Structure 1
Amino acid sequence: MAAAITASLGGLDVLIIEKASQYGGTSAISGGASWIPNNPKMRAAGMQDSYDSAYIYIETLAGEYFKPELIQTFLEKGPEMVSFFESNTELRFQHRDYSPDYQSDKPGAATGGRTLDAALYDGRELKSHLADLCPPLGDITLFNGLMVNHDDFPHLFNVTRSIKSFWYVTRLLGNHIVSLLRYGRGTRLLFGQALVARLAKTVFDREIPLKLNTGLTDLIEEDGAVTGLVVEHQGQEMRLGARRGVVLASGGFSQSAEKRAARMPHVGGGAEHHTLVRSANIGEAQDAAVKVGAKDISVSANAAFWMPVTLVTDGDETVVPHTNLIDRAKPGVIAVNEEGLRFTNEAISYHNFGEAMIANGLKHAWLICDQTMLKKFGLGAVRPAPIPYKKHLASGYLKHGETIAALASEIGVPANQLSETLEGFNADAAHGIDREFGKGSTAYQRLMGDPGHQPNECLRPLEGPFYAVKLQHGDIGTACGLTANIHGQVLSERGLPIEGLYTCGNEMDSIMGGVYPGGGTTLGPGLTFAYIVGKHAAEQKSKQ
């Protein structure tokens, strides 16, 4: 959508095709954050950042996979993109005052401002098009689709203790019930829902055609240039011409079991992998590009951006992966392998935690907490008190043991080793330290912990009874894709741009080299290169 809007504003006639029956894809179910260093929103708030510090930070993380030209372009054009969309579209960003980069102890890292969120949006503005917006994941909503954010949590937690909070929550629920009755879904849109809805409003206002249930089957090539594409809609094949170019932005290959096995070592080694990406993303666009001479998918530090997940069985017996974003960082939590040993710092980012699972050769891990933690913060899909969790015990999702030995028996790890692991962890945690892995040692980790707990927001000894959920490998999008230049043009095997063929988003090889600097690492570069692609295509028209 972002590329289409930019091209349309540049004077081009644009068509968007979407394979799925709803628009929004993985962006719509995401956190909706965009990582843009030195952006105009943070600068307007008086926050300091620089091109040089962001460059050093990315270079430090990416190492041998660092891509200087693409990073230079991203850092130069990212802030420009933010201003462009705020000035010309419905999209509005809000900066986070305090949101440390994920590896906040590295040179060039920032403690806030770089991560932008899409502002809350009223879905009713989409009118009839709201029905076609891909709904949010159930694990980021309450009460049948009500979206809430950090501003709402204090009121939700204090609803029985504060008159102000009681009326706040009453209004929130009342409006949500009205939306359910009238629209069949929530209309208070946050995170990725707000981002996509705001872009979609501009698409519809500009009368850009958006064709659902229309999948790419092939690209049309003439004299070494891409001049159109072949699509399938309701069983009918159609050939569509493209005067200025085709942009491939269909989200990568996360749902292709064959491609995952070929490019993700743990999957090739027999581990289960459960992606959070929408089912339509199987990599057909990348295959079509390779057929017209595009360089095959390259190798980055990681094949995808990792997210540990737990598997929940919903009402119709469908198994659904649930994100494990912040529970790992809370005090009163440890993660262990099949042998009952800790293998990493639980409070590192979801991507880095996934890297640790892979590096340690794990097929799965166990996240263990005590009852104090469970009641205060929940665990995985288990909500905090007073929401009951007996159904999760009954289904086997949540394991329980009055003693650590009993829990070890439930989850199938050696009781002696797990007891020894917990004893060592508790001895350190009592003093607010983690000598083995340094849990709670960075600003990012402490933010993810419990701000009211001292001396270390992430550490507290575990005391029975104990609970556990099984962590599996997962991802939020692929990181290896089509090789492109600084204009988003797809490159051939010889390293030359293929005329008329562009890419952006997770279809494009990660400009970060498969590392994850901070919240919004997929959407920030995705939006930036969508803007770059749309501008470049429009500029080619003006030259002709």
Structure 2
Amino acid sequence: MMPAHETYDVIVIGAGAGGMTAAAVAAAEGLRVLVIEKTAFVGGTTAWSGGMVWIPANPKMKEAGLSDSITEAVRYLSNTVPEPANAGLRAAFLARGPEAVAWLEANTEVRLQPVTVYPDYYPERLGATSGGRVLEPVAFDGRRLGRALARLRPPLPEFMLFGGMMVNRLDIPHLRHVGKSLRSTLRAARLVSAYALQRLRSPRGTTLHLGNALAARLYASLLARPVEILFSADVEDLSMQGDRVAGVVIRHGARDRLIAARRGVVLATGGFSHDAVLRKRFFPSAAGLVSAANRAATGDGLRLAVTAGAALNTDATSPAYWVPASLFRRADGSRGAFPHMVTDLAKPGVIAVNAAGRRFVNEALSYHEFVLGMLRDGQGEVDRPFYLVCDRAFLWAYGLGRIKPFTRKIRRYLAGSELVEAPDIAQLAGKIGIKPSTLSATIAAYNEGAKEGRDPEFGRGSTIYQRHLGDAAHKPNPCVAPIVREPFFAMRIYPADLGTAIGMRVDAQARVLREDGTPITGLYACGNDMGSIMNGNCPGPGIMLGPALTFGYIAGRHLAEGAAMASSGAKASV
């Protein structure tokens, strides 16, 4: 279906978190908005994500009785993002992030709640907090979307139970204790019963959590206003009037069509995670081609902006936000990449080893730091293998990758070589191409300290962040346990990205800049199309979504303020 109009006030390209925020804000301020999405779904990578939003000194913290301040946030960022590049954008983020949260809650369907216990990734550094800077979306009833639920990108199937049931982070410990705790068993029973009722009317569960809930809330905000969304359409070019962006040329089916934008165009296409050419240009060779981002993130926004004279922000310590991922084939033949973020790496009884069979990193560090360790160890070597190694007790209690806890039948994972099994460490080493004596020595050295809950080599479990991701019920160290119960297992992991950090240079109003630092009139960017304000550093969970929502909000408000000024000027001239 083609757009209903030839002219809009605002055109947003991309329906991820940043783009939908910009659209929702502009529409709530009275502008006519068109959203153009290249796929058949809204949500982008956000719909697959944990939905965490990092915004220091946010109003929800105060409501929960947690203290924070911009001063403390500046102190923390100065210790985790030491580069001077983009300092002005970080200041804008800190100043306007809390404003964005308050505005969205007052004017849209977005509802966020503080995660009161979720430490910043470097809790030992000055200015860090133990929780509250991280916000998560409140669960959303998908039935409220009606038939439009079919347009919301489904979560990754590997993150659902029973073929379509979502669970939030607080449900997971209870599901692990089914049969061991009456409270946990009853909670699990209620979850499953509710899901069964939902499946009578819907092809999947309708209680939405995590990033799927955030995407749904933003989508509901668009549906509540006269925002048009054009699906399965490609933007071929930006339309220019002199040096001003005045609209877009779209291809929808076999037709090209020019659509004008009175106020401006917002680029929010999700970065370039799946563009091989741009990855080769900006990524280290050891990073390879594995990505956990939505496959539609192919650099469309960057290419459009460059043709209009935009400058790229390449001042990045890291060109992407990293996560270790394991690869597998689904039943339909599609390839999947499972991001190992919080479910297994920090749990007691698993270690990561390199191609030589030695540990190379503290496994309980943030997933971003974990992959930086992989890249350092690889020293530029392409396709260097890394493995997670555990025993039967760990696999049963915590799962590994997409293999969920308490999985009895693992044959299908073994058959596809996603998981490797052996009766002892020496044979496991032989199966994965590692010298048996080296891997055996690595396990023995780790086990020696693990018997007492220690990790002399890397200090695993030494910070509140690491312990938070471990198993609180495991004593004395929630992150450390021996690997002793046969059979033993290995799973190959790859350096992968969650999203790109290199993008367009923008100013504090989210306007795209030229090489000389002047803004391109009518062109804005947010999300991963915008260069990372953290320069590719990862100080906390939600470090992509926090700026995405904030600068989407900033773009929407600036567009609306520009429209209001134009209207006032026109009236004054009359």
- Shorter-chain TM-score category? over 0.9
Matched position secondary structure for 1:312: strand
Distance 1:348 1:218 in 2: 42
Structure 2 residue aligned with 1:319:
335
Matched position secondary structure for 2:145: helix
Distance 2:535 2:338 in 1: 26
1:374 to 392, 395, 399: 395
Aligned length: 541
The gaps in structure 2 that reach 5 residues or longer are 1-19, 567-574
| 1:343 partnered with 2:364 | no
1:289 to 302, 305, 311: 305
Alignment of 1:5-404 (within 5 A): 5-64=24-83, 66-161=85-180, 165-267=184-286, 272-326=288-342, 327-361=344-378, 363-404=384-425
Distance 1:259 1:172 in 2: 43
Structure 2 residue aligned with 1:522:
544
Matched position secondary structure for 2:298: coil
Structure 1 residue aligned with 2:515:
493
Distance 1:526 1:296 in 2: 17
Distance 2:467 2:85 in 1: 28
| Contact 1:404–1:464 (8 Å) recurs in 2 | no
| Contact 1:364–1:473 (8 Å) recurs in 2 | no
Partner AA of 1:180 in structure 2: R
Distance 2:255 2:349 in 1: 57
Distance 1:164 1:31 in 2: 25
Distance 2:235 2:30 in 1: 25
Relative to the length of structure 1, the TM-score reads 0.96
Using the TM superposition, name which of 81-90 and 396-405 deviates more: 396-405
Distance 2:394 2:310 in 1: 50
CA offsets, 1:123-177, max 9 Å, x none?
0000011011100012221110100123323442343355654454344223323
Partner AA of 1:263 in structure 2: F
Partner AA of 1:372 in structure 2: A
Matched position secondary structure for 1:8: helix
Matched position secondary structure for 1:528: helix
Partner AA of 2:358 in structure 1: L
Matched position secondary structure for 1:311: strand
Shift of 1:395: 2.2
Shift of 1:459: 1.1
Matched position secondary structure for 2:96: helix
Distance 2:318 2:39 in 1: 27
Shift of 1:184: 1.4
Matched position secondary structure for 1:182: coil
Shift of 1:65: 5.4
Structure 2 residue aligned with 1:3:
22
CA offsets, 1:216-265, max 9 Å, x none?
11111112111111111112111111110100011001011111111111
| Contact 1:217–1:284 (8 Å) recurs in 2 | no
The gaps in structure 1 that reach 5 residues or longer are none
Matched position secondary structure for 2:104: helix
Shift of 1:215: 1.5
Shift of 1:504: 0.4
| Contact 1:216–1:285 (8 Å) recurs in 2 | no
Relative to the length of structure 2, the TM-score reads 0.92
Shift of 1:112: 0.4
Matched position secondary structure for 1:194: helix
Partner AA of 1:284 in structure 2: D
Structure 1 residue aligned with 2:15:
none
Structure 1 residue aligned with 2:8:
none
Structure 2 residue aligned with 1:537:
559
Using the TM superposition, name which of 500-509 and 97-106 deviates more: 97-106
Partner AA of 2:368 in structure 1: H
| Contact 1:481–1:508 (8 Å) recurs in 2 | yes
CA offsets, 1:185-211, max 9 Å, x none?
221100111101111111011121111
Partner AA of 1:377 in structure 2: Y
| Contact 2:176–2:397 (8 Å) recurs in 1 | no
Distance 2:94 2:174 in 1: 38
| Contact 1:59–1:66 (8 Å) recurs in 2 | no
Distance 2:204 2:254 in 1: 30
**Change beyond 3 A, Cα 1:167–1:344:** closer
| Contact 1:403–1:464 (8 Å) recurs in 2 | no
Structure 1 residue aligned with 2:427:
406
Distance 1:151 1:452 in 2: 15
CA offsets, 1:447-506, max 9 Å, x none?
111111222211122114221100012111111100000000000011111100000000
Partner AA of 2:419 in structure 1: L
| Contact 1:58–1:66 (8 Å) recurs in 2 | no
Distance 1:437 1:236 in 2: 59
Distance 1:88 1:431 in 2: 53
1:456 to 463, 466, 477: 477
Instruction: Name the Cα RMSD after superposition.
Output: 1.5
| Contact 2:233–2:253 (8 Å) recurs in 1 | yes
Matched position secondary structure for 2:365: coil
Using the TM superposition, name which of 167-176 and 499-508 deviates more: 167-176
